[in-house]
Amino acid sequence: MITLEELKHRTDVPVILADHEGRITYVNGPFQKVFGWNAEGILGQSLIVIIPTNLHDAHHLGFSRFLTTGKPTLLNQPLKLKAVTKDGRELEAEHLIVAEFQEGRWMFGATLRPL
């Protein structure tokens, strides 16, 4: 299984990392290029900014459940999902989301391969 550290060094695919509160902690170059966000503008924001409005409830509840139980339902498998660009468009991408437990907290990472 791919580690967050490995994800951080990928340059062939858009990559995004987030902390236990769902705050964005890292985006790579391809991510900025494909989705139009620059690092300064998006770091520290909630993951919600790249999630389509329609999926907000599902994200909040699903993310919260994972933090409560530690049992994944969507991790480690390719998912066809939409992500929101800086200018508000919704781009379909194959998401692969992973999580790591570091120093008592969950950290998240994902590749978003545009379709």
Partner 1 sequence: MDVWSDVAPPVSVETDLSGSLRATLGKMELALATLVDAIVWGDEKGRVQWCNTSFERLLGKTRLQILGVPLIDLLPLELGGKPLDPDTHPAALLLRFRSSTTGFYEFHQGGKDLVLEVFGTLAPMGDYGTSEVFVIRDVTEDRKAQQALEQAYAALKQTQQELIQSEKQAALGRFSFGLAHEIKNPLGIILGWAEFLERRTAPADSQTREAIDHIKHSVHRADAIVRGLLQFGRAAPLQVETIDVKEILEGALALLKNRLRLASIEIKSDPPPPPPLEVSVDRNQIQQVFFNILTNAAEAMPKGGTLAVRISRLADSFCSIEITDTGEGISREHRARIFEPFFTTKRNQGGIGLGLSVSKTIVENHRGSLHIESEPGRGTRIRVVLPLAVGL
Give the binding site for partner 1 (CB under 8 A).
8, 17, 21-23, 25-26, 40, 43-46, 48-49, 52-58, 60-69, 74, 79-81
Radius of gyration of the chain (CA): 13
Minimal distance, residue 31 CB to partner 1, in Å: 12
Q: Are strands 90-102 and 105-114 parallel, antiparallel or unpaired?
A: antiparallel
Which of residues 58 and 115 has its CB atom nearest to partner 1 in the complex?
58
User: Is 38 within 8 Å of 32 (Cβ atoms)?
Assistant: yes
Minimal distance, residue 61 CB to partner 1, in Å: 4
**Exposed / middle / buried, residue 62 (Cβ in 10 Å: 0-12, 13-18, 19+):** middle
Minimal distance, residue 92 CB to partner 1, in Å: 11
Give the integer Cα–Cα distance in Å for 41 and 6. 24
Minimal distance, residue 25 CB to partner 1, in Å: 5
Which of residues 13 and 51 has its CB atom nearest to partner 1 in the complex?
51
